[in-house]
A and B are shown apart, each in its own frame.
Chain A
């Protein structure tokens, strides 16, 4: 879980401008919402390193070209190749390396002075060095990818385990008073049926039943207090900005899974009175589900469409459509129930939380299958006339 916190803080840094006024950002998201939306490569988005690298390439190229053959400045390209690991994936490293090789050869051709034979030897050495460095850089990159994948997987498993344990412990806690209620009720019946009926014992049995039932409901109240730690903070907000914030969070996830995102957000949408973080949770969960569905389908079409539009009289409707495996005919009615999951390792909590959030906002959430494959999730939120702050 250590790495997970790190990834979260990276996300927080990147999205900080959008989240001003929400210091509790992400810490309030249920764990499974953000399981896949973490990526250490956020830090690479900075342009500083690519610019330095380009400047270095240019500098080395100039020096290599104007100095005689005896000076093997091209060896310095290894610095650029190693730098490229810091800001790009495998493809980028290969591209940078290829550029370096090409420039070395161009420099060799353009250089006028010096011993021609020494030039051939020096250039060969430079090319070999660049190739060897590229190979090492690629190994570093794949090791890092493996580590990242392992960490993400571990964090995911850890969350599931925690949730599973939590559920088992709640089940045990509630089962105890329920057992007592049932047993006391049975005992009460027997006291009535005894000849003569022992009414005093009947009364005490009923007292115990009330006591135990209260205890059960106290446990449930405690669990509820645990899961909804904070009161929703409602304010007027633009739903499109919510969608943009979530997309920013999901960017890495989407590109890593080679998913094409198509966004069509309506203009002049009415403001919505709602809890920004909760609504982000809904969009994020639908998005993550879409990615899972697309991966499960494994088709060539890998597309996620998010759209928002105005509804009459002044609400909004958001649709999240994916080209994934779609929904089984029988499951559409049940998927919003708690503990119903179509995913192999799903807890069946995400969509049920989505539904409670949307319903708490006075909206509606539903799902449809899409031909030939895929699913579309819609939700509506009432605008300023319908919702009373």
Chain B
């Protein structure tokens, strides 16, 4: 998980376009390139699934009606495997139930062809920003988890008790250790967790609880 951190900034934000119509695909690619975005275009969802997703902020422009798989169904599938990719839908004939379904499943925007270029670009930019934030959070979480995993079992025990608000003396009694040992242990784990204060450590512990509850 750690290599994420370094690659966060050096990859170009990329727009993933999935549309079975070659002219529409080409045109949207052209539009995205004209504002300096990276583009990867696919004719089908299966083609996309064969692709190695790069470590960069991504936003997907997805056509609803495609041969093979329906864009709306694919959105559900995607939210399981690549939840960090926001989706902008484009459709030739959107009805209200369709758009409601897409928005409920977490779509960023639902545009009807032909769309205004600014509308699409705004949606894409919002998507890339969202993807960036999600990725940052993921990386930060991963980093925090690594730090926590680097603690010894004794240090983890002490950390849990500290964050529960127990005093050094109480911890020493509970774990059958001397107060000095607990203090050394605390200093050690604060260093490993890169926490400057007990308050910060508390926040980290809270975050860790949240990560453990919702894996990925």
Q: Contact check: which of A187, A205, A211 meets B23 at CB < 8 Å?
A: A211
Is the beta-carbon distance between A172 and B92 smaller than 8 angstroms? yes
Docked pose: A208 CA to B33 CA in angstroms: 15
Contact with A along B12-44 (1 / 0, CB 8 A): 000000000101101110110111000000000
Chain B residues with Cβ under 8 A from A175's Cβ? 92-93, 113-114
Chain A residues positioned under 8 Å from B28 (CB to CB): 183
B74 within 8 A of A: no
Interface residues as binary, A185-222 with B (CB distance below 8 Å gives 1, 0 otherwise)? 01110110010001001001100100110010000000
Judge if B117 is at the interface, Cβ distance under 8 Å.
Answer: yes
CB distance from A171 to the nearest CB of B (A): 7
Bound form: Cα–Cα A370–B120 in Å:
53
The reply to whether A190 and B113 form a contact with Cβ atoms under 8 Å apart is no
Closest to A175 in B: B92
Nearest-neighbour CB distance to chain B for A385, whole angstroms, equals 50
- Are A208 and B114 in contact (CB-based, < 8 A)? no
The answer to whether B23 touches A182 (Cβ under 8 A) is no
Residues of chain B lying within 8 A (CB to CB) of residue A43: none
Question: Does A387 reach chain B (CB closer than 8 Å)?
Answer: no
Given contacts A208-B30, A215-B23, contact A179 B113 (CB under 8 A): yes
Determine if A190 and B35 form an interchain contact, defined as CB atoms under 8 angstroms apart: yes
Q: B20's closest neighbor in chain A, by CB?
A: A176
B30-A182 in contact (CB<8A): no
Which of B24, B35, B92, B93 interacts with A183 by CB under 8 Å? B24
CA distance A176 to B27 in the complex (A): 11
Measured between beta carbons, the chain A residues less than 8 angstroms from B65 are 172
B93–A190 contact, CB under 8 A? no
Does A178 count as interface, using CB distance less than 8 angstroms?
yes
Residues of chain A within 8 A (CB-CB) of B24 are 176, 179-180, 183
The answer to whether B114 touches A179 (Cβ under 8 A) is yes
Cβ of A168 within 8 Å of any chain B Cβ, yes or no, is yes
Q: Whole-angstrom distance between the alpha carbons of A208 and B117 in the complex? A: 16
B23 touches A180 (CB 8 A): yes
Q: Select from chain B the residue with minimum beta-carbon distance to A194.
A: B34
Is A177 interfacial (CB-CB < 8 Å)? yes
Number of A-B pairs whose CB atoms are under 8 Å?
A: 74
- A177 and B23 contact, Cβ closer than 8 Å, known pairs A171-B93, A172-B92, A186-B117: yes
A179 to chain B: which residues have CB within 8 Å? 24, 27, 92, 113-115
B30 touches A184 (CB 8 A): yes
A212 to B24, CA, bound (A): 9
Contact A183 B21 (CB under 8 A): no
The interface on chain A, measured as residues whose beta carbon lies within 8 A of the other chain's beta carbons, has a size of: 27
- Shortest beta-carbon distance, A172 to chain B, in Å? 5
Instruction: Pick the contact of B27: A171, A187, A198 (CB < 8 A).
Output: A187
Asked whether A176 lies within 8 Å of B30 as measured between CB atoms, the reply is no
Nearest CB of B to A362, in Å:
39
Q: Which residues of A contact B31 (CB under 8 A)?
A: 183-184, 186-187, 190
Q: Which residue of A lies closest to B111 (CB)?
A: A179
Tell me, in angstroms, the Cα distance from A190 to B27 when the chains sit together.
Answer: 13
Residues of B within 8 A of A198 (CB): 34
Closest to B117 in A: A186
- Asked if B114 and A178 make an inter-chain contact with CB atoms under 8 angstroms apart, the answer reads yes
Closest to B113 in A: A179
Q: Please measure, in the bound complex, the distance between the C-alpha atom of A343 and the C-alpha atom of B16, giving whole angstroms.
A: 47
How would residues 150 to 188 of chain A score, 1 for a CB under 8 Å from any chain B CB and 0 otherwise?
000000000000000000100110011111111110111
Give the shortest distance, in Å, between B70 (CB) and chain A (any CB). 15
Q: In the complex, what's the smallest C-beta–C-beta distance from A336 to chain B, in angstroms?
A: 27
A184 and B34 alpha carbons, distance in the complex (Å): 10
Q: Once the chains bind, are B27 and A184 in contact (CB under 8 Å)? A: yes
A342 CB, nearest partner CB in chain B, Å:
26
Q: Is the CB of A172 within 8 A of B93?
A: yes
Which residue, of B34, B35, B65, B114, has the highest number of chain A Cβ atoms within 10 A?
Answer: B34
* Contact indicator A180/B27 (Cβ below 8 Å): yes
Give chain B nearest CB distance to A319 CB in angstroms: 42
The docked-state distance in angstroms from the alpha carbon of A212 to that of B33 is 19
The answer, among A177, A178, A205, A211, for a CB contact under 8 Å with B30, is: A205
Q: Tell me the smallest distance from the CB of A218 to a CB of chain B, in Å.
A: 12
Q: A186-B31, A190-B34, A191-B34 are in contact. Are A176 and B113 (CB under 8 A)?
A: yes
Tell me which of B23, B93, B120 contacts A212 (CB under 8 A): B23
Q: How many angstroms between the C-alpha atoms of A211 and B22 in the bound complex?
A: 11
Are A183 and B114 interface neighbours, CB within 8 A?
yes
B113: chain A residues at CB < 8 Å are 175-176, 178-179
Chain A residues with CB under 8 Å of B115's CB are 179, 183
Question: CB-CB < 8 A to A191: which residues of B?
Answer: 34
Would you call B114 and A182 a contact (CB within 8 A)?
yes
A186 CB → nearest B CB, Å? 4
A176, B23: Cβ atoms closer than 8 Å = yes
Q: Looking at the assembled complex, report how far the CB atom of B183 sits from the nearest CB atom of chain A, in whole angstroms.
A: 61
Can you name 11 A-B pairs with beta carbons within 8 Å?
A: A176-B23, A176-B92, A179-B115, A183-B117, A186-B117, A187-B31, A190-B35, A205-B30, A208-B27, A212-B23, A215-B23
Known contacts A198-B34, A211-B23; 6 additional CB pairs below 8 A are A177-B23, A179-B27, A179-B115, A183-B27, A190-B35, A208-B26
Give A residues with C-beta under 8 Å from B: 168, 171-172, 175-184, 186-188, 190-191, 194, 198, 201, 204-205, 208, 211-212, 215
Per CB-CB distance, the 3 closest pairs between chain A and chain B, nearest first, are A186-B117, A180-B23, A183-B27
